[in-house]
Structure 1
Amino acid sequence: MEKLYGDVVRSGDVDRLGEYEVTESSIVAFAVQWDPQWFHVDPGAAGDGPFGGLIASGIQTMAILQKLAVEAVFGKFHILCGKELTDVRFRQPVRPGSVISGTMTTTTVLPEPDRGRVLVGYDVELTDANSGVVLTAVMAVYMMLPDTP
């Protein structure tokens, strides 16, 4: 598939993300390597903890966001780089069995033709099919404009 350039992006565009199923084993495997807190790695102890069970690391939730964003949106475009990820809010825990999806709504499109790029801003929302919104954030990326050397 031929990749698109940032000149086709419009403020108000809404992109729907695919789905990602979170399993107990994926939570534990991720946390063992990147966030080995007991409520991410020990299902028994987590059951007696403040969340009433195992929960995914916030870092894992952001990694899921990135995977879904690349598959549904960024993979279609000539992306130069990410600029920022701000206002990240973890609205509720992600648990084993969660099916994560969401939306990316384009909020800003700021062409920089002299630099051959456009800055595109998004409001992001991830949801769990079972329990509602789990993460919100603001994201911005640079995309190439056509005829950029």
Structure 2
Amino acid sequence: MTAHLVSTASAPTDMQPVYLDDLAVGDLFKSGEHAMDEAQITTFAAQFDPQPFHLDDTAARATLFGGLAASGWHTASVTMRLQVTTGLPIAGGIIGAGVELSWPRPTRATDVLHVVSEVLEIQPSKSKPDRGMVTVRSETRNQHGDVLQLSTVRIVVPRRPVANGAGA
């Protein structure tokens, strides 16, 4: 198993782009960190998911969350940012083709998030030799190691270009 561990610096400039040819099943990628806070949670919720348990701690105490909780879509957005900037340096960007997503625990204002991703499957394309599909399972964890979000995503990954530009 190859492990690609990225520093927890906010956005390393030395991350080398990863191509389909560079990946192996079992490869691990770890992102940097993002500290949540109440202002981020309520600002995101006010614009994109205006429910009481995302907007007001007092109102949230009367719900199954028992206190202010970030929208799952907020957690997903932070996850994407962490992967793009520090955790999953796919050449050309992370282009999704499908996802399975769940939130086993709520994200709280005191959480510091990071993402650990593992390559589960690699399928070179037979009809488009310049790319393939990669299945990646990611866990968004807090500072205690609690899994707050699970995702299994199929992404389009380009092959490493060859000198004539035809693909590997």
Q: TM-score, normalised by structure 2?
A: 0.79
Matched residue SS, 1:50:
coil
Question: Could you tell me whether the CA contact under 8 Å between 1:79 and 1:141 is conserved in 2?
Answer: no
Cα offset, 1:80, TM superposition: 6.9
Gaps of 5+ in 1: none
Residue 129 (str. 1) matches residue 139 (str. 2): no
d(CA) in 1 for partners of 2:121, 2:134 = 6
Q: In the alignment, what sits opposite 2:121?
A: 108
Which is richer in strand? 1
Question: Could you tell me whether the CA contact under 8 Å between 1:79 and 1:144 is conserved in 2?
Answer: no
Task: Tell me the matched-pair count.
Answer: 148
Cα offset, 1:113, TM superposition: 5.5
Coordinate RMSD, CA, aligned: 1.9
Residue 68 (str. 1) matches residue 110 (str. 2): no
Query: Between the two proteins, what is the percent identity of the paired residues?
Result: 26
Matched residue SS, 2:140:
strand
d(CA) in 2 for partners of 1:146, 1:20 = 31
Regions of 4+ moved over 6 Å? none
Q: TM-score, normalised by structure 1?
A: 0.89
Question: Could you tell me whether the CA contact under 8 Å between 1:15 and 1:73 is conserved in 2?
Answer: yes
Q: In the alignment, what sits opposite 2:8?
A: none
Gaps of 5+ in 2: 1-13
Which is richer in helix? 1
Cα offset, 1:140, TM superposition: 1.3
